[in-house]
Amino acid sequence: MLDMRFVRENPDVVKENIKKKFQDFKLPLVDEVIALDVENRAAITEASELRAQRNQLSKQVGMLMGQAKKDPSKLEEAEAAKAQVKANADRLTELEQKEAELEQKIHKIMLQIPQIIDPSVPIGPDDSANVEVQRFGEAVVPDFEIPYHTQIMESFHGIDLDAAGRVSGNGFYYLLGDIARLHEAVLAYGRDFMIDKGFTYCIPPFMIHGNVVEGVMSQTDMDAMMYKIEGEDLYLIGTSEHSMIGRFIDQILPESSLPQTLTSYSPCFRKEKGAHGIEERGVYRIHQFEKQEMIVVCKPEDSMDWYEKLWRYSVELFRSMDIPVRQLECCSGDLADLKVKSCDIEAWSPRQQKYFEVCSCSNLGDAQARRLKIRIKGEDGKSYLAHTLNNTCVAPPRMLIAFLENNLQADGSVKIPAVLQPYMGGKTALLPDA
């Protein structure tokens, strides 16, 4: 969310940014919110003047009433002063109600106006305009056929979608045996990988209040993703980033405590509305999964350096498991409204012979910090807004697709890279059941 003062003083910049994000339908919001802001500031000024007059008039009434006891001719003047006090009080109540209504309207509009994107972001209307930046590792297509990922899992008796469908419906799964163990091994390895990078491991709440949801994501994303607990002000998290950033709500962090670097585990729950193609079935796009996340809260001048570090950690992690990846820069139209800059790390799928998303790294600037009032106290005693970043470490169900396809051998076995072997009881390979 932008600063109202910035919008007021730079309406053309805000409108140009909206155009770059191909959201022209939001352009009228800028003039509308500026007009509401003018009205609100006028109400605030008038209310302040009335409050200043209140004490003066009250003293005047007291003085006149005292004088009226000795001089009855002063009574009329005292009553007039009392009437003015009452009129001012009524007007002040009216103005305070107006302020509250205007502030609510302004807040609602400001939530819809997108964050100013970084100048380096490529301009384009949707993900088709995202730009490949770098590739890491050789994208190999083996000389044997690679089955669909659920078929690979079934060869190890490692998945049961039918039972999950009976119990929970589409978009759920049972993982079993070595596949379930591999799932947990990847999470444990991702956890330790980030701890070795100096991050603090955390398990957060899996449900959060509505004001935290509003603070960490756009209304559009919220409606498309979040499950609400009926009858309660609680939502199931779609990623641990939500509750991890929410941890700092209304906090003033001393500069000496920064950066806050955290890696968090959580289950994730998502509606995943809409129709999806065959390649997004199985365990690719599901309602429940587990994830290890990276979160950074830092000073504004450090956020771009952390952005570079975070996506490079993803590359290092995936390459250590023999999975080729590429970095894809997200274009303006593909950025969520709170994001300043974002990129995807995509893994190579030898079966599809293309890359698909496994990590998303984002710099949100001060957008979340402004909504949640996360501030930093400088050495000079002044406070300013923090910057927040997040990145997927590993999300095993989707990540397992990349792992299984890239480590599948011609005989149906799956090679276990050295980094995962300690988490798999020393196994060097998974062998399909006879």
What distance lies between CA 269 and its chain's CA centroid? 14
Determine the pLDDT at residue 272: 76
CA-CA distance, 42 to 23, in Å (whole number)?
Answer: 30
Determine the pLDDT at residue 58: 63
Sheet holding 354-363, edge to edge: 131-136, 325-329, 341-349, 354-363, 387-394, 288-298, 260-269, 200-202
pTM of the model: 0.90
Residue pLDDT, tens place only, 373-417: 999 999 999 999 999 999 999 998 889 999 999 999 999 999 999
Determine the pLDDT at residue 224: 78
Phi, psi (deg, nearest 5) at residue 389: -140, 155
Per-residue tokens: 94: 């009216």
Residues 6+ apart with CB under 8 A from 288: 171, 172, 267, 268, 269
Residue pLDDT, tens place only, 228-272: 999 999 999 999 999 999 999 999 999 999 999 999 999 999 987
Q: Which residues, given as ranges, of the chain have pLDDT below 70?
A: 55-82, 273-280, 434
Determine the pLDDT at residue 147: 95
Number of Cα atoms under 13 Å in the Cβ half of residue 368: 31
Per-residue tokens: 365: 């600037």
Label each residue of 72-109 as H, E or C: HHHHHHHHHHHHHHHHHHHHHHHHHHHHHHHHHHHHHH
Determine the pLDDT at residue 61: 57
- What's the farthest any 2 CA atoms get from each other in the chain? 112
Q: Which of 364, 388, 384 is nearest to 375 (CA)?
A: 384
Type of residue numbered 130: N
Residues 6+ apart with CB under 8 A from 159: 150, 153, 173, 174, 175, 176, 179, 283
